[in-house]
Structure 1
Amino acid sequence: MTMALSDFYAKHAHYRTRLDLRTRDSADDIVTAASEGGLDTWYMMKKEKVQAIIGPQRSAEAKFVMELGRKAKVPIISFSATSPSLSQSRSPFFIRTAFDDSAQVKAIAAIIEAYAWLEVVLIYEDTDYGNGLIPYLVDAFQDVGARVPNRSAISLFSSDAEILRELGRLNSTSTRIFLVHMTASLGSKFFILAKKIGMMSEGYAWIVTEGLSTLLDPVSSEAMDSMEGVLGVRPHIPSTKYLKDFMKRWKKPNKMTAGLNLFGLWAYDTVWALAMAVEKVGIENYSSMKRNVSTNLASLGTSAMASQGTVRSFSL
């Protein structure tokens, strides 16, 4: 995101507006993200008087933060909260610059149809992110003549023993086609355990959704080895000259051992889109949020820019 700001204003030095990037860390905790005090969204809206927020990263956090954005009339712009349950119809101030997860279901269904598989077991993490995609997958499979005889929701806090017990239950059924919809933290542990009990061998077929296939960099070598033969889907990124140049510049100063994933690229593009939108709206429309010293959520101030009716002109 910092590189995006630098690149954008190097190319648009004549622009009258400038984004001022402030960062806060919610520590992947919904309560922390909503609380006042510390590094959180409330602080950014109330104390920093921001006019837009990029984030949060997870769908569970976004579900709450988008309500704060609606209350304060501050745009919440997310490049990584992909659950289909996060709809702009719930809050006109929520803007998603990533594909929502439902965009991948036709590609997955096409794989199922191509192999003429009649049954698929769904395994997913028991979060807003995990649960949000399931109805879309079930409908898509039905459209290609496949059914879901079994499904398994696994908690992020499941112990190895609990996951092994659930894998044993699934292995006792006749279906050997599995679709896994998890984030990398849970998914990497899951596949290590699946291999441990022999479920990654010949006779089984595994498909992973975009969230896991896109975020393979953080997983361990053991997890990567256990996922040999797994088929994953992810959005196509055209290999342009600009992208290649950016990747070279990214790796040089950062000496990155891991590649820049899709969400990093979406973050870069999101900053460019927001900077362009701010210039389009015009600096004269930008004033700070109305001051309100109360800590009551109901008394959260509203953006003066929003009250002028200009927030809706953001187009990303």
Structure 2
Amino acid sequence: MSGISLYVCFNQVNYLAAWRQRLLERPRDLSLLLVEPSRVRPDASKPWPRGIAHLRGPSGPWTMAVLVLLALLGLIERIYIPHRREAGRGLGFVLSRCRHIHLLDDGLDQYRGQPRALITGQFPLGTPLYLFSDALPFRAPWCARFACRELGGFPLPAGDPGGEALLASRQRPASLVVDAPGLDWLPPLEADLPPPRLVLAHPAAGKRSWPAAPTPPSSSAATSPARSRPNPDWLVLHFPGPLLIGESFLLVIALVHRPVDWPLLVALPPAVDPQLRAMVECLCAQRPASRLLRAVPP
């Protein structure tokens, strides 16, 4: 048996990139999966492809102590990680002792002229970089520094009981808001975004920008059991009414996979990466029902 492969996933995109990598390459090693529980949604339709064994757990002092011990013993051969920005001393030590480092897709960074989370100089030229391929023509030039390995299209949800139940209920929203940076720079949208509005909060609290108070459907969705909560990915693809979305990876899913005649409103922060803005402008221009809103200072 070869050494251990450690997967460190800070968000849902990282996790699904790791899931797709193991599905495509089918390694038979022992895999350890470390996730950030508040930002990774379990999906029963996408079970972790098992090698000889599989462990999964949240990050914490005891978890890191175990990983440091495994690294000291030379048992961690490969690590799959999106970047080193959130790597503390323990994870930094594991990285220093690991034989092979692989990078995972982190969402929008591959479409930014300058990646926000990944510091490219921290990794050697030719480091493997696993990327989803939904908007391949818009991939940033910096990615060529790495050995890009294509994961194909983002794994879209086939179904979602929570979302289906919501859209079939009396509480069906008239418009959908995906909270993300850029929504705090919006002009008034009463005509374009009729109530009741379902507001989906960003999993990272620091990126929540929607200035209005959540509507009752949003509150009920947030407090319902996890298995019945609407999956944001599924709603973006299946909600036919007006959809407002900010700077989020869900924006790529909406621009590429949502029906072109369904209304889509896009809000980007004024300081958004120029290459990312150019991509959004180009994709919006190809969709007759999509519109990039002009930012207005709050």
Instruction: Please report the TM-score for the alignment, with normalisation by the length of structure 2.
Output: 0.32
Max radius of gyration: which structure?
Answer: 1
Identify, as 1 or 2, the structure richer in helix: 1
Instruction: Please report the TM-score for the alignment, with normalisation by the length of structure 1.
Output: 0.30
Identify, as 1 or 2, the structure richer in strand: 2
